[in-house]
A and B are shown apart, each in its own frame.
Chain A
Amino acid sequence: MIYLLPSISATLGAILSFSLFRSKHKEASVLASFLALVFSIFLLFEPDRFTAFFYVDSLSKIFLLMISSVYLGVVIFSIGYLEHSHGHLVKSCQYFSLLDIFVGIMLFSVTLNNFGLFWVSIEATTFATALLVASENDIAALEAAWRYIMIVSVGLTIGLVGTLFLYSSAHTLSITDLLSRQNQGSLFFLSGMLLVIGYGTKIGIFPMYTWLPDAHGKAPAPISAIFSAVLLPVSLYPLIRFFEVYQDPSLSKFAFVLGFLSVMTGSIMTLNQRLYKRLFAYSSVENMGLSLIGVSLGSYALFGTIVLIFTHAFAKSGVFMLTGNMLHELKTRKIEDVKGLIKIMPKTGLFLFFGALAVTGTPPFATFFGELLIVSKTINYYGWIVGVALFFFLMCGFLFINYRVINMVFNDETKPVSSAKESPFTFVPVIFITLAAFVILIVPIFYRFIEGVIK
């Protein structure tokens, strides 16, 4: 039950924000997110717990910590962000309430011991967040939200067929039970393929990623931040568990191909992006594709994935929050309209630069280490040609994104801006991107902590 404390905090935050403390909804959400983080840190030191309903090991604890940290940052940043935004579809109290309930569901989902309930909770995050995506209430935002809810729901229906086949072949959906038996058979394999496609839709895997740039591009910056940093990895979580219970070379190849195509698409699409939020959205497609590759390969590539998504969570959420600053002050979403950011908004500019380096896997950020492990396992498993091709596309993403960001930050053709003052809440993305830089220092501790999961 103690493993539900973070989720309960967030859910209470949602209830309080929406009902009893409507006038103090921001404070209620900050308190809820702070408590969720405290509980998540406390749970790191608690023993693993496996019951009929819960499956909490070190991986779940890392996810709890990652979700709670981003949650606190996003809630604090949202306070400043919403003050500058107008014409919202949802009121401020509804925004915080939906955000709290969304995080509550995610915190709940990573403690579960049931593939059926994974599906229920991942689908629940869809309708909990659709209105947040549409929050800006213009044509593009509403269209993005509609595409999000339809594509993801239909994709997850395929995941439900996979869950059904899993249950039919194994007669259980419990991770503990599935781990204790030999899982084989073509129906099991078919269920694995359908689960990869189904959850892949929510993760933003090729070819079902099309909702992702729209939703990330049009959602308010803090929502894009939490989507990219946490929602996508949480949707990957059931697949990590599935590959734990069922290791089949053909299924691994299937997931690898989809992951590879996602890396390829994500990195190439960054070349022709004209809007900075969409640029970073495609970077998420690339990172999630790489993460799926790591999951499919297992062993130290899986460790690489965990390091990658943990560092990516801090760096990418920081970057998206900074894009919120840019949008408020510069009133443009276009990359070409942003020049000399370092002069106009020094903190935003500098940390956007560092954040972009972090999300594109530049050393010494731990994303580099994670990518290195995944690429080296790819070479080890599929040979040099495939490994070099993967590295090539990662380099494309690295060059295209950083070229654009360097242009936005350091290009001297500064356009006159009347009053470009940075939000006082800029400290949140600054801390997040700084934390992303420090993750590399705790990698050995990380490894010892999660060793049992990696095998």
Chain B
Amino acid sequence: MEKEIFALVGFWEIILSIFMQWQAYTISNIKTFSVQSWILGIFLLWAGVFHGFTALIILALLTIITRAIAMPLYLGNTIRKQIYRARENKHRISTGLSILISLLLAVFGYLVYYLILAGYGQSLVSIPITLMLQGAFLIVSRSNAYSQLIGYLVMENSMFLLSFLFSELPFIVEAGIILDVLGVVVVAGLLMRVRDEDIEKEEELLG
């Protein structure tokens, strides 16, 4: 039962990350990330209640509060002050090609599992690996700072799925990870307010 629910959660996480690949509206991507985090948080909450693990319940609540609510609100608030960044017209890779690459990454994720991790008996491990690759691809395929940051956050979400699948890290470590990611988002948000990503060549950054 738990495996089926995990597969369902993973499936939706991947579908939503592919949806992000063809989204031109950054605000939609922020909302999609929020939905992703809600799904992850609710799943962790269910697992915590089902197994009676208080630490998992706290972790689920922390996930919902920070990833599903606080970060999207903060990023949404930041982008409203920079409305010209709300739509990303010029992708580094065309939308069609990025969807195709996303699908290929899903296949590649399964291959990574099959070739390297199949021996550990966790057939579902291809799901977080695929999600991680989707996040990484979002970072490299976009020049918009918000999209890149969301790509990073998708990667971090995949870490929680991976952690759940293998063995839960100690609570203090998981909580530390959540706080770290929150710190990265806050500082990245501050930088995004003043940074202009349309620079062509900057002599001081060459070589």
Contacts and interface: CB of A to CB of B under 8 A. Distances in A.
A157 B207 contact: no
Given A127-B180, A149-B184, A333 B204 contact: yes
A439 B145 CA distance: 45
Contact of A116 (B119, B173, B196): B173
B89 interface: no
Given A117-B173, A120-B173, A157-B159, A142 B191 contact: yes
B166 interface: yes
A141 to B, nearest CB: 8
Contacts of B149: 150
A137 B136 contact: no
B166 A146 contact: no
Contacts of A218: 204-205
A157 B205 contact: no
Given A130-B187, A143-B199, A153-B184, A186 B159 contact: no
A120 B202 contact: no
Contacts of B120: 168, 187
B91 interface: no
Given A131-B191, A278-B207, A124 B163 contact: no
Given A146-B191, A273-B207, A116 B159 contact: no
Given A217-B204, A218-B205, A274-B207, A167 B136 contact: no
A150 B194 contact: no
A278 to B, nearest CB: 6
B122 to A, nearest CB: 9
B167 A116 contact: no
Given A124-B183, A173-B173, A275-B204, A164 B162 contact: yes
Interface string A298-313: 0000000000000000
B90 interface: no
A32 B101 CA distance: 52
B190 interface: yes
A131 B177 contact: no
A171 interface: yes
Instruction: Give the bracket for the number of chain B residues in contact with chain A.
Output: 35 or more
Nearest to A171: B167
Contacts of A274: 207
B83 interface: no
A89 B207 contact: no
B176 interface: yes
Given A139-B196, A165-B166, A127 B191 contact: no
Contact of B180 (A124, A150, A168, A214): A124
A146 B170 CA distance: 31
Contact of B169 (A139, A143, A163): A163
Contacts of B163: 164
B79 interface: no
Q: Counting chain A CB atoms within 10 Å of each CB, which of B120, B155, B204 scores highest?
A: B204
A102 to B, nearest CB: 12
B82 to A, nearest CB: 14
Interface string A100-142: 0000000000000010110110011011101100100101101
Interface string B185-207: 01110110011110100111101
Contacts of A419: none
B57 interface: no
Given A142-B194, A149-B191, A173-B170, 11 more contacts: A120-B177, A140-B202, A140-B203, A143-B199, A146-B145, A154-B152, A161-B132, A186-B119, A187-B120, A272-B207, A273-B207
30 contacts: A117-B172, A119-B176, A120-B173, A120-B179, A124-B176, A124-B180, A128-B183, A130-B187, A139-B202, A140-B202, A140-B203, A142-B195, A142-B196, A143-B197, A143-B199, A146-B145, A149-B184, A154-B136, A157-B156, A157-B159, A161-B162, A163-B169, A173-B170, A173-B173, A187-B120, A190-B116, A214-B205, A218-B204, A275-B207, A278-B207
What 8 pairs between A and B have smallest CB-CB spacing?
A: A116-B173, A120-B176, A127-B183, A168-B166, A142-B195, A140-B204, A127-B187, A123-B180
Interface of A: 89, 114, 116-117, 119-120, 123-124, 126-128, 130-131, 134, 137, 139-140, 142-146, 149-150, 153-154, 157, 160-161, 163-165, 167-168, 171, 173, 186-187, 190, 213-214, 217-218, 269, 272-275, 278, 333
Interface of B: 116, 119-120, 132, 136, 139, 145, 148-149, 152, 155-156, 159, 162-163, 166-167, 169-170, 172-173, 176-177, 179-180, 183-184, 186-188, 190-191, 194-197, 199, 202-205, 207
